Chain A
Amino acid sequence: MRLPEWESLAPWVVGLSSMALLVLIWELAGTRDVALTTVMPPPSQFLSMVIESDFRIGLGSQSATLDEAIFATFSRVFTGMFLAFVAAIATGALISLSRFATWSLSPLLYVLAPIAPIAWIPTAIVVFGISNVTAVFIVFMGVYFILTIGTLAEIRRVPQEYLTISGNLGANRWQQWVYVVLPSIFPGVFTLLRTNFIAAWMAVLVAEMVGLRDGLGAIIMMGRNLFNNELIMFGMLVIGLSGFVVDRTLAFIGNKVLWWRVK
């Protein structure tokens, strides 16, 4: 059966072909336009530069390897997202279980949610200094409010029958939360987390650009400070590819681990 095999490979083949076509156009444009090559050096140029430097970025004692930069950014993003995920579910639980919590926390949520995570950077640097905590805080602020509002919506969507049945079968309110509400809302909240990953990713990159000295965002700033467009292009490529890999990983977790849907 050749057709189904081809059909399963088609998205990969077409996706990789479109990327290859973009690189080809970029390379061809680079051979014809010197000005463009200076601002946007093609992959053959910036990749050879990075390979020559043995994937070491920066100068002297402040230089770092590529894997260190990726690890720094990833650990900040995932720590911030994990904390936001846990905090959003805890807040959602609190608000849905207590009217007092609803009255006191709901207005705060809706006032703070529209503030862009980038706007928190100056305050965070003053409070936490130039450190990992600042980056984690920025990611947290970028995801937490949206995720909490989404969690509340998911809690409201839990079918009443689920709660009635569990109550009938002997579950108390706490057990209903653990065994019914949490599994009901996990897939939806996780999907929301995935869609907000891009916001968290951008927030941490900006934090790395404006303050922190390491991470993928810092590669771009280093390139700017050294007037090194190859480094800037390389940083952009790594950021794009890393973001893509994380998004696919989150999608995989969503499809394989939290696969069920509550109607």
Chain B
Amino acid sequence: MSTVETDQAVFRIENLSINFPGKRQPVPSPLQGLNLSIYENQITTILGQSGCGKSTLLNALGGFVIGEDSGGVLYRQRYMNGPLEEIVMIFQENNLYPWLSVAGNVKFGLRFRKHDAVDIKTTVSNMLESVGLNDAAGAYPHQLSGGMRQRTAIARALITKPKVLLLDEPFSALDISLKRRMHGLLRSLQEETGTSMVMVTHDVEEAITVGDRVLVLGGNPAKVLVDADTSAGDMRDRYSNAYLQLQKQIEDVIY
């Protein structure tokens, strides 16, 4: 079980100021002035209405958009000024290269690091086993189900041993039963690897059952409307009082 280590912030967002290019002048994102910390070794899930800046926040954490000089994102106490190899992102779609097999996709990142061939083979095989895809190693993305594709994407991200995994609604295209299996897998992979994970989602159930901490963003400029510790065991039970109370609290804020 992962623990909430509130003193170890992996990201500290200070007075975030992100502007998008506009026709005449830059358009400020809804995240203007946001202050927030995201902690090590846990899954943080982020909820909020469409357009509240969830994905922009994830892009800022990944270093794909950079804040203005007055504030920004600190990754392990250093201001980010671009993407880092130790922070890997997984998207809702277009995650896999269609010309590579499952094994080819999973080992894609290893070719840019120093590994010998035997080591690569063993590492890929172990990783495919952890996500239950050993039998599909030779299959190509168009032959896979949505869940298998996302499992491949997760395996490819984790094989490079990133410090942080950012997930942008990775399971939104999956049906409910597959989604729940993926939640279990993601949690066990997090516990196994200790990777800090930040996941943006629209799904309240997903946010509570997967996350160790749930953040709900809202308003313009955006604020953290709910910040809940969901690491306790009863939060994984969708019928427990703690779960239902939090679900109601979040739904009241969002809807």
Contacts and interface: CB of A to CB of B under 8 A. Distances in A.
Q: Are the chains A and B members of one assembly?
A: yes
For A167, A179, A180, A183, the residue with the greatest tally of chain B CB atoms inside 10 Å of its CB is A167
Interface in A216-231: none
B156 A169 contact: yes
A171 B88 CA distance: 12
B97 A168 contact: no
Interface string B151-167: 00000110010100000
B112 A261 contact: no
A170 interface: yes
A159 interface: yes
Contacts of B51: none
A260 interface: yes
A262 interface: yes
B94 A159 contact: yes
Given A180-B97, A260-B99, 19 more contacts: A161-B93, A164-B64, A165-B95, A167-B83, A168-B62, A168-B87, A168-B157, A169-B108, A169-B112, A169-B157, A169-B160, A170-B85, A170-B109, A171-B112, A172-B112, A175-B112, A183-B99, A260-B140, A263-B94
A162 B109 contact: no
Interface string A163-187: 0111111111001000110010000
Contacts of B140: 260
B91 A168 contact: no
A165 B99 CA distance: 15
B24 interface: no
B98 interface: yes
A175 to B, nearest CB: 6
A139 B226 CA distance: 66
Contacts, number: 55
B89 A162 contact: no
Interface of chain B, helix or strand or loop or mixed? loop
Contacts of B23: none
B111 interface: yes
Interface residues of B, number: 25
Contact of A169 (B64, B85, B98): B85
B83 A170 contact: no
Interface of A: 159, 161-162, 164-172, 175, 179-180, 183, 260-263
Contacts of B162: 168
A30 B226 CA distance: 89
Contact of A183 (B85, B97, B109): B97
Contacts of B97: 162, 180, 183
B98 A261 contact: yes
A163 to B, nearest CB: 10
A161 B94 contact: yes
A161 B83 CA distance: 13
A31 to B, nearest CB: 54
Contact of B85 (A168, A175, A179, A180): A168
Contacts of B88: 165, 168-169
B108 A164 contact: no
Interface in B57-95: 62, 64, 83, 85, 87-89, 91, 93-95
21 contacts: A162-B97, A164-B62, A164-B64, A165-B88, A168-B62, A168-B85, A168-B87, A168-B88, A168-B157, A168-B162, A169-B85, A169-B112, A170-B109, A170-B113, A170-B160, A171-B112, A172-B112, A179-B108, A260-B140, A260-B142, A263-B94
Shortest Cβ-Cβ A-B pairs, 5 listed: A169-B109, A170-B112, A161-B94, A260-B98, A159-B94
Contacts of A175: 112
B89 A164 contact: yes
A260 B83 CA distance: 29
A172 B109 CA distance: 11
